Structure 1
Amino acid sequence: MKLRDLGWMLLIQAIWGVNFVVVKLGLDHMPPLFFVALRFSLAALILLPFSGLPRAHLKRVIPLSFTLGVMHFTLIFTGMHYLDAATTAIAVQLQVPFAAILAAIFFKESLHWRRITGMVIAFAGIVLIAGQPRFFANPWPLASVIAAAMVWSIANVQVKMLGDEIDAVQLNGWIAILAAPQLLIVSYAFEGDHWPALTAIGWGGAFALLYQGVLVAAFSYWIWYNLMRRYPVNVVMPFMLLQPLIGAASGAFFRNEEISLAMVIGGIGILIGVAIIIIRRPGVIAPSTKTGI
């Protein structure tokens, strides 16, 4: 990999890792569903001129926009409203073993002993984390993030079924454009009308929204997709392992989040399991999608 592209790759992983803390900052100022709806609305406004409307692919892209845009982000932002950034950054990596399982079911990919070992190690890691007293007493936020990881793996199957005929950059824009109105409706139905309070989100809320809508959803995705076109999947995907490490470190540094011994051991287990799966079969994660948030 060229030195310039290596720099871009490391920058993207830093943006996505710190993003877990930024989401927590936004959730300090906005309800989770309203935050997600604004995030996709801003991204849709930015990406519409470059993506257009998927008139010829609506029947296939609308279900994906609901799975990835509405279900995944609703679950993960709702879970993060009550969960710390470090735990979320680690737990959401379960999307990789979930994706491997679904790839075996839908695409008949073989689950050799190495990948099965990776899955067992990863799931053992989350069991160790979930067994901590604070999660055992209130398991629902962590369960919501794990469910979001599962939903992402379902979206991964949907993306692969679309094939290579749809450009990844356009697909990202279409998901934002189609998910935004759905999320606005869901937010209004479950959280009420928060538009009058939009001006009261403060600088912290505004920064989190701009970070999500501009830096993550538009800028970093565009760089990521270009790198995916330029290099083999097995070269690019291992860099994804930096994201949970940066996310956990950012949570501890910026928000003074406690990282217990059980979380460290469980997190290492999850990362080892994910690494085994990605290194052996990097294509288990669709090149046209990004993990995390």
Structure 2
Amino acid sequence: MHDLRLKANLLLLLVAAIWGLAFVAQRLGMDHLGPFGFNAARFLLGALSLLPLTLIFRARAGQASLRPLLRGGLAAGALLFCGASLQQAGLLYTTAGNAGFITGLYIVLVPLAARLMGQAVNRGIWAGASLALAGLYFLSINDAMIINRGDLLVLVGSAFWAGHVLIIGKLAPHLDGLRLSIIQFLICALLCLVVALIYEQDSFTLANLMATWQPIAYAGLLSVGVAYTLQVYAQKHTPASHAAIIMSLEAVFAALGGWLLLNEELTARALAGCALMLAGMLLAQLPSRKKADTQPTGHA
């Protein structure tokens, strides 16, 4: 059991790195495509990349009823669409580092949402939320007390990521993770495609898709096809406290990726905000270890 948990934690660290660096690919992808067109392509590619695995694991998948998978995949896919769309649109106006840290607020929002559903929330979570909000102020709000448009979009998206975390945590132990991943990706891709065909007709062309194949390949094959599936698997074998702490490092990888690959700069004020947000994410999880050992968690 210990070896299985260690393996799951290492997989979640890999997931955090893949997702953090994906913010770089997501920004580069919009050099030619709109946010919905890019997401439609990457989530469709992610779903298609998993289809061959259904042949390998056909016997195991056949044991599960299709109806619960469809219901769960539809709900998870709709939340995924909302979170991913707001995040992608926000990246038009903010940096990869900012988007990574603000998206990471879902780690604080998950226990707060649990409180709204009647579960107890201890002082550590409230303290962590307070630190995270203070960090958001330093990172995103200027002297005129106005939040950057992109940061605001990503912030709203983090609420949907929190919802996705909760529903995946509920579904993952009971449904086939591979087929659940494929269904939610297809639902998300279809919704993005509809919006792209309506509002992004000028940019959503074959020529632009071909010009953006590298960011789409990374965001589709690695960030979607590999990382989301590893998330579903790992959530079955590691405590919520471990998973949430490890996955909060996604924000750090996003900031590093933006600095190294996009030449993004973080001011002293922004760095202070990042530090406060990361501290808040960690503090919100550490005191909950005993209560959360059997409840899965993860990113959306």
TM-score interval for Structure 1 and Structure 2 normalised by the shorter chain: 0.7 to 0.9
Compare 58-67 and 37-46 and name the one that shifted more. 58-67
Q: Of 166, 169, 182, which aligns to 2:178?
A: 169
Q: Of 66, 85, 94, which aligns to 1:74?
A: 85
Counterpart-to-counterpart distance in 1, 2:275 and 2:44: 36
- The aligned counterpart of 1:148 is 157
Q: 2:73, 2:181 within 8 Å by CA — same for their partners in 1?
A: no
Letter in 2 for 1:67: L
- The aligned counterpart of 1:31 is 34
Letter in 1 for 2:192: L
Q: Of 98, 101, 104, which aligns to 2:115?
A: 104
Counterpart-to-counterpart distance in 1, 2:31 and 2:103: 21
Q: CA shift at 1:104, angstroms?
A: 0.8
Q: CA RMSD in A?
A: 2.9
- The aligned counterpart of 2:95 is 84
Identity of counterpart residues, as a percentage?
22
Q: CA shift at 1:5, angstroms?
A: 6.8
- The aligned counterpart of 2:220 is 213
Q: 1:210 to 1:270 in 2, by over 3 A?
A: same
- The aligned counterpart of 2:263 is 256
Counterpart-to-counterpart distance in 1, 2:148 and 2:198: 25
Q: CA shift at 1:177, angstroms?
A: 1.8
Counterpart-to-counterpart distance in 1, 2:83 and 2:213: 23
Letter in 2 for 1:154: G
- The aligned counterpart of 2:126 is 116
DSSP 3-state at the match of 1:281:
helix
Q: CA shift at 1:208, angstroms?
A: 0.7
Counterpart-to-counterpart distance in 2, 1:17 and 1:253: 12
Q: 1:267 to 1:37 in 2, by over 3 A?
A: same
More helix by share: 1
Give per-residue Cα distances to partners, 1:120-164, cap 9 Å, x unaligned: 11111112222225993x632111000000111223343455473
DSSP 3-state at the match of 1:35:
helix
Q: Of 232, 238, 245, which aligns to 2:252?
A: 245
Counterpart-to-counterpart distance in 1, 2:116 and 2:9: 35
Q: 1:168, 1:288 within 8 Å by CA — same for their partners in 2?
A: no
Q: 1:151 to 1:224 in 2, by over 3 A?
A: closer
Q: Of 74, 77, 93, which aligns to 1:62?
A: 74
Counterpart-to-counterpart distance in 2, 1:39 and 1:133: 37
Letter in 2 for 1:274: M
Give per-residue Cα distances to partners, 1:38-66, cap 9 Å, x unaligned: 11111122223445898412344323311
Counterpart-to-counterpart distance in 2, 1:22 and 1:37: 15
1:17 aligns with 2:20: yes
Counterpart-to-counterpart distance in 1, 2:242 and 2:195: 39
TM-score after normalising by structure 1: 0.85
- Structure 1, unmatched stretches of 5+, are none
Q: 1:255 to 1:218 in 2, by over 3 A?
A: same
Counterpart-to-counterpart distance in 1, 2:65 and 2:217: 25
Q: CA shift at 1:83, angstroms?
A: 1.2
- Structure 2, unmatched stretches of 5+, are 55-60
DSSP 3-state at the match of 2:249:
helix
- The aligned counterpart of 1:43 is 46
Counterpart-to-counterpart distance in 2, 1:151 and 1:16: 17
Give per-residue Cα distances to partners, 1:217-245, cap 9 Å, x unaligned: 12233444444444444334322232111
Q: 1:128, 1:263 within 8 Å by CA — same for their partners in 2?
A: yes
Q: CA shift at 1:116, angstroms?
A: 0.6
Q: 1:262 to 1:286 in 2, by over 3 A?
A: farther
Letter in 2 for 1:265: A
